[in-house]
Amino acid sequence: MGRTLKFNIFRFNAEDPASVPHMDGFRLEETEAMTLFIALNRLREQQDPTLMFDFMCRAGICGSCAMMINGRPDLACHTKTKDLPAEITLLPMPVFKLIGDLSVDTGTWFRSMNEKVRSWIHTDNRFEPGEEEERMDNALAENIYELDRCIECGCCVAACGKAAMMPDKFMGATAFCRITRFMVDPRDERKSDEYFEVVGNEEGIFGCLGLLGCEDTCPKNLPLQDQLAMLRRKMGFSQIRHLFSGK
Ligand code: SF4
Ligand code: SF4
Ligand code: FES
């Protein structure tokens, strides 16, 4: 026989001035292969149609279902209830603006981060649609692909102590990963110093506490620690070069 799951879910409707933040309790029979996506939909269909949460792909691809699951940020659609205790506490992710209950606005935060790191290929080459595609070495293409796998779920931001202290300012590990993605791309003509100008400050790499909650919680297992180390190393070399060249 399946377990009876007890859910404690944060409730607050940011649109309703009369709404007061509180926790609501629910009970639900666990079924085979149940995910939190299935559980939350059942709760909404059968017990409370006002329950707010976000889902799109249900396959760990769109990044919209991230929430705090028993204190840890993760994707609800790829979390199986059998891997959790019978009592499950769900909270919205911190740092991001709360929309209601478990739903937060990650889009505004990521848009601002992408604008800060100018997250696009910078080149003076004109795009000629009729021309043959430029070739790229397989290993390099794979490296870029690896760094491009971020689904902008926000788990690394929600786990980051520095982002909690500077919610509208600290760029977070996802930004460092974006920067290194463009640094290794030969089509981007920015010089190293141009990247360092963006991340070489307290809102960027110097503000990072280095405790790596980001990498521990990334559901896509992105190598965030390696990118942090690589940026720090390259910035160090660049500063030494400037010291010796007197520039
Ligand atoms: S290592 Fe840096 S970016 Fe990652 S969680 Fe810690 S402070 Fe945030
Ligand atoms: S780096 Fe990982 S945890 Fe952070 S937003 Fe991207 S996929 Fe999510
Ligand atoms: S619903 Fe898309 S990642 Fe979970």
Mutate to test the pocket of ligand 2, among 153, 214, 216 (most ligand atoms within 8 A of CB): 153
pLDDT attached to residue 1: 62
The answer on pLDDT for 245 being more than 80 is: no
Mean pLDDT over 162-166 rounds to 94
Mean pLDDT over 96-115 rounds to 96
Mean pLDDT over 150-171 rounds to 95
Check if the beta carbon of residue 33 is closer than 8 Å to that of residue 78: no
Check if the beta carbon of residue 52 is closer than 8 Å to that of residue 41: no
Of 3.30.70.600, 3.10.20.30, 1.10.150.110, 3.40.605.10, which CATH number belongs to 4-104?
3.10.20.30
Mutate to test the pocket of ligand 3, among 35, 36, 62, 102 (most ligand atoms within 8 A of CB): 62
Q: What letter would DSSP give residue 44?
A: H
Q: Residue 161, class by beta-carbon neighbours within 10 Å (0-12 exposed, 13-18 middle, 19+ buried)?
A: exposed
Boundaries of every domain in the chain: 4-104, 117-245
Nearest to 10 by CA among 81, 84, 71: 71
| 244 or 80, which is more confident | 80
pLDDT tens digit sequence for 46-66? 999 999 999 999 999 999 999
E-strand ranges in the chain read: 4-11, 22-29, 66-69, 72-75, 87-91, 97-100, 103-105
Q: How far is the CA of 80 from the centre of ligand 3 (A)?
A: 13
The alpha carbon torsion through 216, 10, 103, 175 (nearest 10 deg) reads: -30
Which CATH class, in words, describes the domain spanning 117-245? mainly alpha
Check if the beta carbon of residue 26 is closer than 8 Å to that of residue 4: no
Q: How far is the CA of 132 from the centre of ligand 2 (A)?
A: 33
What is the distance between the alpha carbons of residues 5 and 181, in angstroms, rounded to a whole number? Answer: 42
The secondary element (H helix, E strand) that includes residue 196 is helix 192-199
Torsion region of 58: left, alpha or beta (phi above 0 gives left; psi -120 to 50 gives alpha): left
- In ligand 1, the atom with minimum distance to the C-alpha of 176 is 3
Question: Which pLDDT band, with edges at 50, 70 and 90, does 243 fall under?
Answer: low
38's tokens: 């299935």
32's tokens: 């085979």
The answer on pLDDT for 221 being more than 90 is: yes
Q: How far is the CA of 63 from the centre of ligand 2 (A)?
A: 8
The answer on pLDDT for 247 being more than 60 is: no
Mean pLDDT over the full length of the chain: 93
